[in-house]
Amino acid sequence: MPPKANPLRLNSLQRKTLAILQALADDPRTSTNFPETGEVLITQFPPPHGNHFHVGDAVVMAKDATGLRNEAVWRALERKGLARGEFPIAIHLTPSGLLYDTGMRDQILHRHSH
């Protein structure tokens, strides 16, 4: 039987936010890995310019990233064991948060082939 999609029942804003945080966690310019705990600390949040911002080689529309500055979203991710937040300064993604399949990455992280 395939794993259940969205087993923690994250809402759309929480899923979008987690997908962006996972992408930020993949970028050494915005995050620090802690191998001893398996967590990644994100301390750099790219500034938007116009209606978007860049995460690595992807573009994220600002309308999809409102949860990055929303304390309630951070707290929800904490309650579900996906993150530990120091709102609004930094957020730790737990191993569970790093591996959670949001199903949103391809929808909100826009990459252009050249």
Residue 113, in any domain of the structure: no
* Structure-block tokens of residue 4: 């259940």
- How many angstroms separate the CA atoms of 56 and 111, rounded? 10
Measured torsion, CA atoms of residues 75, 99, 41, 12, in degrees rounded to the nearest 10: -40
Q: Which domain holds residue 41?
A: 12-108
> Does residue 3 lie in a domain region?
no
Residue 114 lies in a domain: no
pLDDT of residue 32: 97
CATH number of the domain bearing residue 63? 1.10.10
Whether 28 is covered by a domain: the verdict is yes
Please list the ranges in the chain whose pLDDT falls under 70: 1-2, 113-114
Residue 112's pLDDT is what? 77
Residue 88 lies in a domain: yes
pLDDT of residue 1: 66
Cα separation of 55 and 95, whole Å? Answer: 20
Nearest to 99 by CA among 21, 12, 1: 21
pTM (two decimals): 0.94
| Any domain includes 59 | yes
How many structural domains are present in the chain? 1
